[in-house]
Chains A and B, each alone.
Chain A
């Protein structure tokens, strides 16, 4: 780390997030933090690449925007293709898609909690940088590290069992899924559920017990008013695969409900910032900046009336109480929400496997191009995901718009970074602990910048410190 003669701190790349990002911290004349922002520096121009290709390639193609949550893209993309075909996959296909989507959420949340974030919980934010990682965890808390790996493997094995390939399954296709699952596959998954559930519950207990250690962080970690957006099902409960959009304000008022994701453009505007490849979506009726909203686990639990599964609902009740009648607004609680969603995911997977139709022979609907536009929307681990395709009459892609979870959170993430920087970074004495907190707030959102930049890429970091004249006075690389 260099000294701060001038006054801008840049964190680039942000560590322990997926992708590439840079953080700038602008100081004022008095060396106090004036502003702080996250910039996504990787441009992948995915939407352009897709033009001219057949729509049938889109699921596999967009799954390549992300090595972490390919399944989420497969789901949203296949749903957009369903819309182009104007079909609804048979119940069996829908159930299987739901299961794989939940498995993806479980494994991704487990990765965030155990591998990326737990070092902060275990060692504290001010621990030596070299010690805040999963390798150190293996040494000091081998049991927890192992459980993390196991829980993640649970999700991955389901994906493998169903999709045949762990990283980029091509099993989810326009119209449904490409093949059925067998009784044996079902049993293999069911057999692993008790252990996965035990690990998830233990992690949640650990987290709750350790909460008092992080009082200051909780108060200041992206603790601000914002709207929340997420899918809910017909009952208004937690939903990750289908459903309609619900927008809620910081007081808990429902601003919009029952919105068919097809009409997302009427509710979501996308601003382009000159210094980042990540677009900044906002809730249109309130305009840019006021329309800042959050998505992802925290938002989903806030907007949902209930989870709809017994264990998760019990936890949800406790969780909601934190908001004291309002939505829970501390971004630190994203971690909490993630753990509850893991429990929900495991319960739901068990339920779905129990449904007779899940083993139906009929898992795919076939059709040709019946519409020239299709929107697919689902909840990815990090939040709501939109795929919007336009095709010509032959099914050749003429336009693509993707809104990725991390993109949805862009404005909120920036607000969080600024808040944390103002609270913890002292321009005249920049400590590693302070910078770690700045990164940690980003990790709350679990951003995956490589795909959000359409995919532009985050999550390793460089912090740039800039003076009042916006001159870079210090660059801190945190690889």
Chain B
């Protein structure tokens, strides 16, 4: 195998000198150096889409905040991950995510094991800064084993990506726009009728919230296998 020439870039995160492969994202390099940046839509093993904006970071010399999960590194750049400005914006973004749908944690299947809930703890969000919209979406419980409750969805598209990139089925996609956006199967068919869904359940396992869950579980009982995708990809690579 011909080794590709790997270029390395050197820059700073929070005043610490770091290096990374030239095609890396800020998030990847930060992780390699044990610098924590909060994320929601990002999931190791899947492509990055920058859907949630929780991972925003500041770059010296630029007024624009950029998502660390999609922002590529540049030689000599100075990145800040932990500023008051970022805290303020992250909290507002999280408030908006909560306000967009109905998150009644106390009765939710994911209560206690939810990445959105954990994020509110991490960011110290005690209440929403914007009013709740309390839109109501129909639940799709047609599948024999799974339930899709758009009322708890944060539109991170992990389900869409895992289905497309790992399972290879691309059964999920997005429909409608703005506040009405939902993840759907095929042509917005009930889950049970989806021709493309293989019922593998990867989407359920990667969903960060109670939006996708196993059928029949009660409040707090939906514990997801977080490292499933990384393990799966590792096994596949080993076989090759």
Q: How far is the CA of A159 from the CA of B62 in the complex (A)?
A: 56
Q: How far is the CB of A62 from chain B (nearest CB, A)?
A: 9
Contact of A54 with B139 in the complex, beta carbons under 8 Å: yes
Contact of A52 with B107 in the complex, beta carbons under 8 Å: no
A59 proximity list for chain B (CB < 8 A) = 218-219
Report B47-95 residues with CB < 8 Å from chain A CB: none
Contact of A394 with B219 in the complex, beta carbons under 8 Å: no
Is B221 an interface residue, CB under 8 A from the partner?
yes
Q: How far is the CB of A167 from chain B (nearest CB, A)?
A: 10
Is A173 an interface residue, CB under 8 A from the partner?
yes
Question: What string of 1s and 0s marks CB contacts (under 8 Å) between A166-195 and chain B?
Answer: 001010011000100000000000000000
Contact of A368 with B215 in the complex, beta carbons under 8 Å: yes
Report B97-139 residues with CB < 8 Å from chain A CB: 106-109, 111, 136, 138-139
Contact of A52 with B106 in the complex, beta carbons under 8 Å: no
Contact of A178 with B221 in the complex, beta carbons under 8 Å: yes
> Given that A60-B106, A61-B107, A64-B106 are contacting pairs, would A52 and B218 also be in contact in the complex, using a CB cutoff of 8 Å?
no
Is A56 an interface residue, CB under 8 A from the partner?
yes
Interface residues of chain A: helix, strand, loop or mixed (majority): loop
Q: How far is the CA of A52 from the CA of B139 in the complex (A)?
A: 7
Contact of A174 with B218 in the complex, beta carbons under 8 Å: yes
B149 proximity list for chain A (CB < 8 A) = 54
Contact of A53 among B139, B142, B216 (CB under 8 A): B139
B216 proximity list for chain A (CB < 8 A) = 56, 174, 366, 368
> Given that A60-B107, A168-B106 are contacting pairs, would A54 and B220 also be in contact in the complex, using a CB cutoff of 8 Å?
no
Report A36-58 residues with CB < 8 Å from chain B CB: 52-54, 56-57
Q: How far is the CB of A370 from chain B (nearest CB, A)?
A: 12
Contact of A56 with B106 in the complex, beta carbons under 8 Å: no
Q: How far is the CA of A203 from the CA of B144 in the complex (A)?
A: 54
Q: How far is the CA of A173 from the CA of B221 in the complex (A)?
A: 10
Q: How far is the CB of A85 from chain B (nearest CB, A)?
A: 8
> Given that A64-B106, A64-B107, A168-B106 are contacting pairs, would A56 and B139 also be in contact in the complex, using a CB cutoff of 8 Å?
no
Give the total of B residues in contact with A, Cβ under 8 Å.
20
Question: By CB atoms of chain B within 10 A, which of A53, A57, A368, A395 has the most?
Answer: A57
Contact of A395 with B141 in the complex, beta carbons under 8 Å: yes
Among residues of B, the one whose C-beta sits closest to the C-beta of A59 is B218
Q: How far is the CB of A180 from chain B (nearest CB, A)?
A: 15
Contact of B138 with A56 in the complex, beta carbons under 8 Å: no
Q: How far is the CA of A57 from the CA of B222 in the complex (A)?
A: 12
Contact of B220 among A52, A64, A170, A395 (CB under 8 A): A170
Contact of B138 with A170 in the complex, beta carbons under 8 Å: no
Among residues of B, the one whose C-beta sits closest to the C-beta of A61 is B107
A64 proximity list for chain B (CB < 8 A) = 106-107
| Chain B residues within CB distance 8 Å of chain A | 106-109, 111, 136, 138-139, 141-142, 144, 147, 149, 215-221
| Chain A residues within CB distance 8 Å of chain B | 52-54, 56-57, 59-61, 64, 168, 170, 173-174, 178, 366, 368, 394-396
4 shortest interchain CB distances as A-B pairs: A60-B219, A394-B141, A60-B107, A173-B218
Q: Provide 15 A-B residue pairs closer than 8 Å at the C-beta atoms, listed in order of the A residue.
A: A52-B136, A54-B141, A56-B218, A57-B219, A60-B219, A64-B107, A170-B111, A170-B219, A173-B218, A178-B218, A178-B221, A366-B216, A394-B141, A394-B142, A396-B139
Given contacts A64-B106, A173-B218, A368-B215, 5 further A-B contacts (CB under 8 A): A54-B139, A56-B219, A57-B219, A60-B218, A170-B111
